[in-house]
Amino acid sequence: MDNIELKLSTFYILAFILFLFMKPASVSSRDHRQWGDERILTSENNNGDLVTNLPGQPPADFKHYAGYVTVNETNGRALFYWFYESITKPEDKPLVLWLNGGPGCSSVGYGATQEIGPFLVDTNGKGLKFNNYSWNREANMLFLESPVGVGFSYSNTTSDYAQLGDDFTANDAYTFLHNWFLKFPSYRTRTFYIAGESYAGKYVPELAELIQDRNKDPSLHIDLNGILLGNPETSDAEDWLGLVDYAWSHAVISDETYKTIRRNCDFNSSDPWSNRECGQGVDEVLKQYNEIDIYSLYTSVCFAITARSNDQSMQTVMNRSSKMMPRILGGYDPCLDDYATAFYNRPDVQKALHASDGHNLKNWSICNDKIFKGWAQSKPSVIPIYRKLISAGLRIWVYSGDTDGRVPVLSTRYSLSILGLPITKQWRPWYHEKEVSGWYQQYEGLTFATFRGAGHAVPCFKPSNSLAFFSSFLLGESPPSTKYN
Protein backbone atom coordinates (compact mmCIF):
# COMPACT_ATOMS: atom_id res chain seq x y z
CA MET A 1 0.00 0.00 0.00
CA ASP A 2 1.57 3.33 -1.03
CA ASN A 3 1.46 6.54 1.06
CA ILE A 4 -1.62 7.94 -0.77
CA GLU A 5 -3.67 4.80 -0.18
CA LEU A 6 -2.56 4.65 3.47
CA LYS A 7 -3.57 8.28 4.05
CA LEU A 8 -6.99 7.73 2.42
CA SER A 9 -7.61 4.59 4.49
CA THR A 10 -6.69 6.40 7.69
CA PHE A 11 -8.98 9.32 6.74
CA TYR A 12 -12.06 7.07 6.21
CA ILE A 13 -11.46 5.24 9.51
CA LEU A 14 -11.18 8.50 11.45
CA ALA A 15 -14.27 9.90 9.71
CA PHE A 16 -16.32 6.81 10.64
CA ILE A 17 -15.22 7.00 14.29
CA LEU A 18 -16.11 10.72 14.40
CA PHE A 19 -19.55 9.94 12.92
CA LEU A 20 -20.27 7.40 15.67
CA PHE A 21 -19.39 9.89 18.39
CA MET A 22 -21.39 12.71 16.84
CA LYS A 23 -24.56 10.67 16.09
CA PRO A 24 -27.45 12.27 18.08
CA ALA A 25 -29.27 10.26 20.69
CA SER A 26 -32.53 8.84 19.40
CA VAL A 27 -35.62 10.81 20.33
CA SER A 28 -37.96 8.81 22.52
CA SER A 29 -41.34 8.13 20.96
CA ARG A 30 -42.78 8.59 24.42
CA ASP A 31 -42.38 12.35 24.38
CA HIS A 32 -45.61 13.53 25.98
CA ARG A 33 -47.76 16.64 25.89
CA GLN A 34 -50.63 17.31 28.25
CA TRP A 35 -54.15 17.54 26.77
CA GLY A 36 -57.18 17.64 29.00
CA ASP A 37 -57.09 14.62 31.29
CA GLU A 38 -55.24 12.52 28.73
CA ARG A 39 -51.57 12.24 27.85
CA ILE A 40 -50.87 11.94 24.15
CA LEU A 41 -47.85 11.08 22.08
CA THR A 42 -46.31 13.76 19.90
CA SER A 43 -45.58 11.05 17.32
CA GLU A 44 -48.37 9.12 15.66
CA ASN A 45 -49.50 6.08 17.63
CA ASN A 46 -51.35 4.24 14.89
CA ASN A 47 -48.94 1.76 13.30
CA GLY A 48 -51.09 -1.16 14.33
CA ASP A 49 -53.96 0.24 12.27
CA LEU A 50 -52.01 0.81 9.05
CA VAL A 51 -53.62 -1.21 6.22
CA THR A 52 -50.89 -2.91 4.20
CA ASN A 53 -52.32 -5.99 2.50
CA LEU A 54 -55.95 -5.33 1.60
CA PRO A 55 -57.03 -7.98 -0.94
CA GLY A 56 -57.67 -6.60 -4.41
CA GLN A 57 -56.53 -3.09 -3.54
CA PRO A 58 -55.28 -1.03 -6.49
CA PRO A 59 -51.84 0.60 -6.08
CA ALA A 60 -51.96 3.78 -3.98
CA ASP A 61 -49.40 6.43 -3.01
CA PHE A 62 -51.17 7.37 0.22
CA LYS A 63 -51.51 5.66 3.58
CA HIS A 64 -54.77 4.40 4.98
CA TYR A 65 -55.69 3.04 8.38
CA ALA A 66 -58.56 0.97 9.80
CA GLY A 67 -59.46 -0.44 13.17
CA TYR A 68 -61.24 0.18 16.45
CA VAL A 69 -61.48 3.06 18.87
CA THR A 70 -62.92 2.29 22.30
CA VAL A 71 -65.57 4.79 23.38
CA ASN A 72 -66.61 3.11 26.64
CA GLU A 73 -64.21 0.76 28.39
CA THR A 74 -66.69 -0.30 31.11
CA ASN A 75 -69.28 -1.56 28.60
CA GLY A 76 -66.77 -2.64 25.99
CA ARG A 77 -68.08 -0.26 23.31
CA ALA A 78 -65.87 0.25 20.29
CA LEU A 79 -66.44 2.01 16.97
CA PHE A 80 -64.82 0.94 13.71
CA TYR A 81 -63.22 3.50 11.40
CA TRP A 82 -61.40 3.64 8.07
CA PHE A 83 -59.17 6.65 7.48
CA TYR A 84 -57.56 7.68 4.20
CA GLU A 85 -54.85 10.29 4.11
CA SER A 86 -55.07 12.79 1.29
CA ILE A 87 -53.50 11.67 -1.98
CA THR A 88 -51.22 14.72 -1.94
CA LYS A 89 -49.85 16.82 0.92
CA PRO A 90 -51.95 15.33 3.72
CA GLU A 91 -50.20 17.59 6.23
CA ASP A 92 -51.74 20.64 4.49
CA LYS A 93 -55.27 19.30 3.98
CA PRO A 94 -58.27 19.46 6.34
CA LEU A 95 -59.80 16.46 8.11
CA VAL A 96 -63.35 15.49 7.10
CA LEU A 97 -65.52 13.01 9.00
CA TRP A 98 -68.15 11.27 6.82
CA LEU A 99 -71.30 9.70 8.29
CA ASN A 100 -74.00 7.65 6.59
CA GLY A 101 -77.44 7.38 8.09
CA GLY A 102 -80.19 4.78 8.29
CA PRO A 103 -80.21 4.89 11.23
CA GLY A 104 -78.19 1.70 11.18
CA CYS A 105 -76.27 1.89 7.88
CA SER A 106 -72.53 1.69 7.33
CA SER A 107 -70.35 4.65 6.34
CA VAL A 108 -67.68 2.15 5.28
CA GLY A 109 -70.08 0.16 3.10
CA TYR A 110 -71.67 3.22 1.48
CA GLY A 111 -69.58 6.38 1.77
CA ALA A 112 -66.12 4.80 1.72
CA THR A 113 -66.56 2.06 -0.87
CA GLN A 114 -69.57 3.01 -2.98
CA GLU A 115 -69.45 6.80 -3.05
CA ILE A 116 -66.47 8.99 -2.15
CA GLY A 117 -63.59 6.81 -0.96
CA PRO A 118 -60.54 5.96 -3.10
CA PHE A 119 -61.39 2.25 -3.39
CA LEU A 120 -64.81 1.16 -4.64
CA VAL A 121 -65.94 -2.42 -4.19
CA ASP A 122 -66.08 -4.08 -7.58
CA THR A 123 -69.32 -5.59 -8.83
CA ASN A 124 -68.08 -9.16 -8.41
CA GLY A 125 -67.51 -8.62 -4.67
CA LYS A 126 -63.98 -9.98 -4.96
CA GLY A 127 -61.88 -6.87 -5.28
CA LEU A 128 -61.62 -3.10 -5.43
CA LYS A 129 -61.33 -0.54 -8.19
CA PHE A 130 -59.77 2.89 -7.95
CA ASN A 131 -62.10 5.88 -7.71
CA ASN A 132 -60.72 8.73 -9.80
CA TYR A 133 -63.09 11.14 -8.04
CA SER A 134 -62.33 10.22 -4.45
CA TRP A 135 -62.75 13.02 -1.96
CA ASN A 136 -59.34 12.26 -0.47
CA ARG A 137 -57.96 14.22 -3.42
CA GLU A 138 -59.01 17.29 -1.46
CA ALA A 139 -59.00 16.21 2.19
CA ASN A 140 -58.04 13.56 4.71
CA MET A 141 -61.18 11.42 4.89
CA LEU A 142 -62.37 9.61 8.02
CA PHE A 143 -65.29 7.15 7.77
CA LEU A 144 -67.03 5.99 10.94
CA GLU A 145 -69.40 3.06 11.47
CA SER A 146 -71.78 4.51 14.04
CA PRO A 147 -73.49 3.74 16.38
CA VAL A 148 -72.51 0.37 17.84
CA GLY A 149 -74.24 -2.43 15.95
CA VAL A 150 -73.48 -0.81 12.60
CA GLY A 151 -70.97 -2.68 10.43
CA PHE A 152 -68.03 -3.83 12.55
CA SER A 153 -68.79 -1.53 15.50
CA TYR A 154 -69.91 -3.36 18.62
CA SER A 155 -70.65 -3.32 22.34
CA ASN A 156 -70.06 -6.14 24.79
CA THR A 157 -73.02 -4.89 26.84
CA THR A 158 -76.35 -5.98 25.36
CA SER A 159 -78.33 -3.23 27.06
CA ASP A 160 -76.45 -0.59 25.03
CA TYR A 161 -78.34 -1.62 21.91
CA ALA A 162 -81.70 -0.82 23.53
CA GLN A 163 -80.60 2.76 24.19
CA LEU A 164 -79.54 3.70 20.66
CA GLY A 165 -80.84 7.04 19.50
CA ASP A 166 -79.67 10.46 18.35
CA ASP A 167 -78.11 11.63 21.62
CA PHE A 168 -76.42 8.28 22.31
CA THR A 169 -74.93 8.33 18.80
CA ALA A 170 -73.69 11.93 19.07
CA ASN A 171 -72.02 11.33 22.43
CA ASP A 172 -70.23 8.18 21.25
CA ALA A 173 -69.10 9.91 18.04
CA TYR A 174 -67.73 12.80 20.10
CA THR A 175 -65.83 10.42 22.38
CA PHE A 176 -64.59 8.58 19.30
CA LEU A 177 -63.09 11.77 17.86
CA HIS A 178 -61.12 12.62 20.98
CA ASN A 179 -59.87 9.05 21.36
CA TRP A 180 -59.04 8.88 17.65
CA PHE A 181 -56.89 11.99 18.09
CA LEU A 182 -54.85 9.99 20.61
CA LYS A 183 -53.92 7.69 17.72
CA PHE A 184 -53.44 10.58 15.29
CA PRO A 185 -52.33 13.56 17.44
CA SER A 186 -51.06 15.56 14.45
CA TYR A 187 -54.70 15.92 13.35
CA ARG A 188 -55.99 17.23 16.68
CA THR A 189 -55.59 20.89 15.68
CA ARG A 190 -56.39 20.36 11.99
CA THR A 191 -59.21 22.26 10.29
CA PHE A 192 -62.18 19.91 10.67
CA TYR A 193 -65.48 19.39 8.84
CA ILE A 194 -68.34 16.90 9.21
CA ALA A 195 -70.24 15.61 6.16
CA GLY A 196 -72.95 13.04 5.59
CA GLU A 197 -76.22 12.15 3.91
CA SER A 198 -79.77 10.99 4.62
CA TYR A 199 -80.35 10.29 8.35
CA ALA A 200 -76.90 11.79 8.93
CA GLY A 201 -78.86 14.99 8.30
CA LYS A 202 -79.56 14.60 12.02
CA TYR A 203 -76.28 12.99 13.09
CA VAL A 204 -74.09 15.73 11.60
CA PRO A 205 -75.73 18.84 13.14
CA GLU A 206 -76.17 17.03 16.46
CA LEU A 207 -72.46 16.14 16.62
CA ALA A 208 -71.51 19.65 15.46
CA GLU A 209 -73.61 21.15 18.26
CA LEU A 210 -71.94 18.91 20.82
CA ILE A 211 -68.50 19.98 19.59
CA GLN A 212 -69.49 23.66 19.69
CA ASP A 213 -70.84 23.37 23.23
CA ARG A 214 -67.80 21.54 24.59
CA ASN A 215 -65.31 23.71 22.73
CA LYS A 216 -65.88 26.21 25.57
CA ASP A 217 -63.32 24.08 27.39
CA PRO A 218 -60.01 24.88 25.60
CA SER A 219 -58.58 21.45 26.47
CA LEU A 220 -61.38 19.80 24.46
CA HIS A 221 -61.21 22.13 21.46
CA ILE A 222 -61.84 20.68 17.98
CA ASP A 223 -61.35 23.12 15.10
CA LEU A 224 -64.78 22.58 13.54
CA ASN A 225 -65.26 24.93 10.57
CA GLY A 226 -68.42 23.64 8.92
CA ILE A 227 -70.83 20.89 7.91
CA LEU A 228 -71.90 19.47 4.53
CA LEU A 229 -75.21 17.61 4.17
CA GLY A 230 -76.63 15.61 1.26
CA ASN A 231 -80.34 14.80 0.86
CA PRO A 232 -80.61 15.17 4.64
CA GLU A 233 -83.46 14.30 6.95
CA THR A 234 -83.97 17.62 8.69
CA SER A 235 -87.47 18.25 10.03
CA ASP A 236 -89.92 15.34 10.20
CA ALA A 237 -93.11 17.19 9.26
CA GLU A 238 -91.50 18.99 6.32
CA ASP A 239 -89.68 15.83 5.22
CA TRP A 240 -92.97 13.90 5.03
CA LEU A 241 -94.84 16.71 3.32
CA GLY A 242 -92.04 17.04 0.77
CA LEU A 243 -92.07 13.29 0.12
CA VAL A 244 -95.80 13.35 -0.63
CA ASP A 245 -95.68 16.53 -2.73
CA TYR A 246 -92.72 15.21 -4.70
CA ALA A 247 -94.46 11.88 -5.39
CA TRP A 248 -97.50 13.71 -6.71
CA SER A 249 -95.55 16.31 -8.74
CA HIS A 250 -93.52 13.50 -10.35
CA ALA A 251 -96.61 11.46 -11.26
CA VAL A 252 -95.93 8.61 -8.84
CA ILE A 253 -99.37 8.93 -7.21
CA SER A 254 -102.82 9.99 -8.37
CA ASP A 255 -104.56 13.28 -7.74
CA GLU A 256 -107.07 11.43 -5.55
CA THR A 257 -104.39 9.93 -3.30
CA TYR A 258 -102.70 13.30 -3.00
CA LYS A 259 -105.94 15.04 -2.02
CA THR A 260 -106.65 12.34 0.57
CA ILE A 261 -103.30 12.87 2.21
CA ARG A 262 -103.43 16.66 2.17
CA ARG A 263 -106.95 16.57 3.59
CA ASN A 264 -106.32 14.05 6.38
CA CYS A 265 -102.62 14.13 7.34
CA ASP A 266 -101.28 16.49 9.99
CA PHE A 267 -97.57 15.76 9.81
CA ASN A 268 -96.97 18.17 12.71
CA SER A 269 -98.95 15.83 14.93
CA SER A 270 -97.06 13.55 17.33
CA ASP A 271 -98.98 10.65 15.78
CA PRO A 272 -100.15 11.41 12.23
CA TRP A 273 -101.07 7.77 11.68
CA SER A 274 -103.87 7.86 14.23
CA ASN A 275 -105.93 9.16 11.31
CA ARG A 276 -106.90 6.04 9.32
CA GLU A 277 -107.42 7.90 6.03
CA CYS A 278 -103.99 9.50 6.32
CA GLY A 279 -102.37 6.10 6.92
CA GLN A 280 -104.12 4.59 3.92
CA GLY A 281 -103.06 7.48 1.69
CA VAL A 282 -99.41 7.19 2.72
CA ASP A 283 -99.56 3.40 2.26
CA GLU A 284 -100.59 4.06 -1.33
CA VAL A 285 -97.57 6.32 -1.83
CA LEU A 286 -95.27 3.59 -0.53
CA LYS A 287 -97.05 0.95 -2.62
CA GLN A 288 -96.36 2.90 -5.81
CA TYR A 289 -92.76 3.59 -4.79
CA ASN A 290 -92.31 -0.13 -4.26
CA GLU A 291 -92.71 -0.53 -8.03
CA ILE A 292 -89.64 1.62 -8.69
CA ASP A 293 -86.55 2.73 -6.76
CA ILE A 294 -87.57 5.44 -4.28
CA TYR A 295 -83.91 6.48 -3.98
CA SER A 296 -83.55 7.11 -7.70
CA LEU A 297 -86.76 7.55 -9.67
CA TYR A 298 -85.35 7.07 -13.15
CA THR A 299 -82.90 4.19 -12.84
CA SER A 300 -83.85 0.69 -13.91
CA VAL A 301 -85.92 -1.31 -11.45
CA CYS A 302 -83.78 -4.37 -12.18
CA PHE A 303 -81.11 -3.07 -9.81
CA ALA A 304 -83.49 -3.33 -6.88
CA ILE A 305 -84.74 -6.85 -7.60
CA THR A 306 -82.00 -8.66 -5.67
CA ALA A 307 -82.53 -6.41 -2.67
CA ARG A 308 -86.24 -7.22 -2.63
CA SER A 309 -86.21 -10.77 -3.93
CA ASN A 310 -88.75 -11.75 -1.29
CA ASP A 311 -91.15 -9.09 -2.58
CA GLN A 312 -90.62 -7.06 0.56
CA SER A 313 -92.85 -4.01 0.38
CA MET A 314 -91.94 -0.50 1.40
CA GLN A 315 -94.50 -0.65 4.18
CA THR A 316 -92.56 -3.31 6.04
CA VAL A 317 -89.44 -1.18 6.37
CA MET A 318 -91.34 1.88 7.60
CA ASN A 319 -91.10 2.09 11.37
CA ARG A 320 -94.36 3.36 12.86
CA SER A 321 -94.17 4.49 16.45
CA SER A 322 -96.41 6.58 18.66
CA LYS A 323 -93.32 8.06 20.35
CA MET A 324 -91.81 9.69 17.27
CA MET A 325 -92.38 10.32 13.61
CA PRO A 326 -92.50 7.18 11.47
CA ARG A 327 -89.59 6.78 9.11
CA ILE A 328 -88.53 4.88 6.03
CA LEU A 329 -85.02 3.43 6.20
CA GLY A 330 -82.63 6.05 4.87
CA GLY A 331 -78.97 6.33 3.95
CA TYR A 332 -79.49 3.12 2.10
CA ASP A 333 -79.39 2.23 -1.57
CA PRO A 334 -81.05 -1.14 -2.27
CA CYS A 335 -79.28 -1.43 -5.61
CA LEU A 336 -75.70 -1.73 -4.46
CA ASP A 337 -75.59 -3.89 -1.34
CA ASP A 338 -74.80 -7.46 -2.27
CA TYR A 339 -71.21 -7.19 -3.43
CA ALA A 340 -70.19 -4.95 -0.52
CA THR A 341 -71.60 -7.52 1.88
CA ALA A 342 -69.68 -10.31 0.15
CA PHE A 343 -66.44 -8.32 0.28
CA TYR A 344 -66.56 -7.33 3.95
CA ASN A 345 -67.42 -10.83 5.10
CA ARG A 346 -64.25 -12.28 3.58
CA PRO A 347 -61.78 -13.52 6.25
CA ASP A 348 -58.76 -11.98 4.52
CA VAL A 349 -60.51 -8.60 4.17
CA GLN A 350 -61.52 -8.52 7.84
CA LYS A 351 -57.98 -9.40 8.88
CA ALA A 352 -56.44 -6.74 6.64
CA LEU A 353 -58.78 -4.09 8.08
CA HIS A 354 -58.06 -5.23 11.66
CA ALA A 355 -61.77 -5.99 12.14
CA SER A 356 -61.06 -9.61 13.10
CA ASP A 357 -58.18 -12.06 13.26
CA GLY A 358 -59.31 -13.69 10.00
CA HIS A 359 -60.57 -16.79 11.82
CA ASN A 360 -63.18 -15.64 14.33
CA LEU A 361 -65.18 -13.64 11.81
CA LYS A 362 -67.65 -10.86 12.44
CA ASN A 363 -70.94 -10.77 10.62
CA TRP A 364 -70.96 -7.54 8.60
CA SER A 365 -74.14 -6.14 7.06
CA ILE A 366 -74.54 -2.86 5.23
CA CYS A 367 -77.63 -1.87 7.25
CA ASN A 368 -78.83 -3.22 10.59
CA ASP A 369 -82.63 -3.43 10.52
CA LYS A 370 -82.77 -4.08 14.28
CA ILE A 371 -81.21 -0.69 14.93
CA PHE A 372 -83.64 1.02 12.58
CA LYS A 373 -86.71 -0.64 14.07
CA GLY A 374 -85.57 -0.19 17.67
CA TRP A 375 -84.33 3.40 17.41
CA ALA A 376 -85.16 4.82 20.83
CA GLN A 377 -84.89 8.58 20.30
CA SER A 378 -85.00 10.90 17.31
CA LYS A 379 -85.14 14.67 17.32
CA PRO A 380 -88.21 15.75 15.32
CA SER A 381 -86.25 18.68 13.85
CA VAL A 382 -82.65 19.90 13.78
CA ILE A 383 -83.63 23.37 12.52
CA PRO A 384 -82.97 24.87 16.00
CA ILE A 385 -79.45 23.41 15.78
CA TYR A 386 -79.00 25.01 12.34
CA ARG A 387 -79.82 28.38 13.89
CA LYS A 388 -77.27 27.81 16.62
CA LEU A 389 -74.53 26.75 14.21
CA ILE A 390 -75.25 29.66 11.86
CA SER A 391 -74.94 32.07 14.80
CA ALA A 392 -71.59 30.46 15.64
CA GLY A 393 -70.36 31.28 12.13
CA LEU A 394 -69.97 27.72 10.85
CA ARG A 395 -70.03 27.07 7.11
CA ILE A 396 -73.21 25.12 6.28
CA TRP A 397 -73.84 23.69 2.82
CA VAL A 398 -76.81 21.50 1.95
CA TYR A 399 -77.27 19.70 -1.37
CA SER A 400 -80.01 17.59 -2.96
CA GLY A 401 -79.97 15.06 -5.75
CA ASP A 402 -83.19 16.03 -7.54
CA THR A 403 -84.32 12.51 -8.57
CA ASP A 404 -84.46 11.18 -4.99
CA GLY A 405 -87.93 10.36 -3.69
CA ARG A 406 -86.76 9.31 -0.21
CA VAL A 407 -85.58 12.73 1.04
CA PRO A 408 -86.54 14.77 -2.01
CA VAL A 409 -85.44 18.26 -2.86
CA LEU A 410 -88.88 19.57 -1.81
CA SER A 411 -88.43 18.22 1.72
CA THR A 412 -85.14 20.05 2.07
CA ARG A 413 -86.53 23.28 0.62
CA TYR A 414 -89.51 23.16 2.98
CA SER A 415 -87.23 22.53 5.97
CA LEU A 416 -84.72 25.26 5.14
CA SER A 417 -87.50 27.78 4.48
CA ILE A 418 -88.36 27.62 8.20
CA LEU A 419 -85.07 29.42 8.88
CA GLY A 420 -86.24 32.50 6.98
CA LEU A 421 -82.67 33.46 6.08
CA PRO A 422 -82.01 36.56 3.94
CA ILE A 423 -80.85 35.69 0.41
CA THR A 424 -77.38 36.92 -0.50
CA LYS A 425 -77.08 35.34 -3.95
CA GLN A 426 -80.21 34.58 -5.97
CA TRP A 427 -81.10 31.19 -7.44
CA ARG A 428 -78.86 30.39 -10.40
CA PRO A 429 -77.30 27.41 -12.20
CA TRP A 430 -73.92 26.02 -11.29
CA TYR A 431 -71.75 24.33 -13.89
CA HIS A 432 -69.37 21.43 -14.24
CA GLU A 433 -67.54 20.58 -17.44
CA LYS A 434 -69.53 23.27 -19.29
CA GLU A 435 -72.93 21.78 -18.41
CA VAL A 436 -75.54 22.76 -15.83
CA SER A 437 -74.82 20.52 -12.86
CA GLY A 438 -77.69 21.92 -10.80
CA TRP A 439 -78.86 25.15 -9.21
CA TYR A 440 -77.91 26.93 -6.02
CA GLN A 441 -78.86 29.82 -3.79
CA GLN A 442 -76.87 31.45 -1.02
CA TYR A 443 -78.32 32.77 2.22
CA GLU A 444 -76.78 34.51 5.18
CA GLY A 445 -75.10 31.55 6.84
CA LEU A 446 -76.11 28.75 4.45
CA THR A 447 -75.71 27.57 0.85
CA PHE A 448 -78.26 25.24 -0.77
CA ALA A 449 -77.59 23.46 -4.08
CA THR A 450 -79.14 20.79 -6.27
CA PHE A 451 -77.56 18.09 -8.42
CA ARG A 452 -79.43 17.65 -11.68
CA GLY A 453 -80.28 14.02 -12.37
CA ALA A 454 -78.81 12.56 -9.16
CA GLY A 455 -80.55 10.25 -6.72
CA HIS A 456 -80.28 9.83 -2.96
CA ALA A 457 -76.55 9.05 -2.76
CA VAL A 458 -75.40 11.88 -5.04
CA PRO A 459 -71.73 10.83 -5.52
CA CYS A 460 -72.87 7.47 -6.94
CA PHE A 461 -74.63 9.29 -9.76
CA LYS A 462 -72.40 12.35 -10.22
CA PRO A 463 -68.90 11.48 -8.97
CA SER A 464 -66.98 14.16 -10.88
CA ASN A 465 -69.55 16.88 -10.11
CA SER A 466 -69.56 15.89 -6.44
CA LEU A 467 -65.80 16.20 -6.15
CA ALA A 468 -65.88 19.65 -7.76
CA PHE A 469 -68.67 20.72 -5.39
CA PHE A 470 -66.77 19.35 -2.38
CA SER A 471 -63.71 21.32 -3.43
CA SER A 472 -65.76 24.54 -3.58
CA PHE A 473 -67.15 23.81 -0.12
CA LEU A 474 -63.69 23.37 1.40
CA LEU A 475 -62.48 26.58 -0.24
CA GLY A 476 -65.55 28.48 0.94
CA GLU A 477 -66.20 29.55 -2.65
CA SER A 478 -69.52 29.48 -4.49
CA PRO A 479 -70.04 26.58 -6.91
CA PRO A 480 -68.85 27.56 -10.41
CA SER A 481 -71.55 29.84 -11.86
CA THR A 482 -70.20 30.20 -15.40
CA LYS A 483 -69.73 27.54 -18.06
CA TYR A 484 -66.07 28.22 -18.63
CA ASN A 485 -64.58 28.26 -15.13
Which parts of 158-269 are beta strand (E)?
Answer: 192-197, 224-230
What does the alpha-carbon distance between residue 432 and residue 434 come to, in Å, rounded to a whole number?
5
What does the alpha-carbon distance between residue 366 and residue 1 come to, in Å, rounded to a whole number?
75
CA atoms within 13 A on the CB side of 228: 23
- Could you say which DSSP state residue 397 is in? E
Q: Say if residues 152 and 80 touch (Cβ distance below 8 Å).
A: yes
- The verdict on whether 198 is a catalytic residue reads yes
What does the alpha-carbon distance between residue 116 and residue 459 come to, in Å, rounded to a whole number?
7
- The verdict on whether 456 is a catalytic residue reads yes
- 195, β-bridge pairs: 98, 228
- Among 107, 198, 365, 466, the one annotated catalytic: 198
- The verdict on whether 365 is a catalytic residue reads no
| 3-class state of residue 207 by DSSP | helix
Contacts 24+ apart (CB under 8 A), 424-433: 425/478, 428/481, 429/481, 430/469, 430/478, 430/479, 430/480, 430/481, 431/479, 431/480, 431/481, 431/482, 431/483, 431/485, 432/464, 432/465, 432/468, 432/469, 432/480, 433/464
The distance from CA 95 to its chain's CA centroid, rounded to whole angstroms, is 13
What does the alpha-carbon distance between residue 202 and residue 204 come to, in Å, rounded to a whole number?
6
Does residue 147 have a cis bond before it (omega within 30 degrees)?
yes
- Among 146, 178, 456, 472, the one annotated catalytic: 456
Amino acid at 17: I
Residues 6+ apart with CB under 8 A from 59: none
What does the alpha-carbon distance between residue 112 and residue 119 come to, in Å, rounded to a whole number?
7
- Among 146, 404, 415, 466, the one annotated catalytic: 404
Q: Say if residues 96 and 136 touch (Cβ distance below 8 Å).
A: no
Q: Where in the sequence numbering do the catalytic residues fall? A: 198, 404, 456
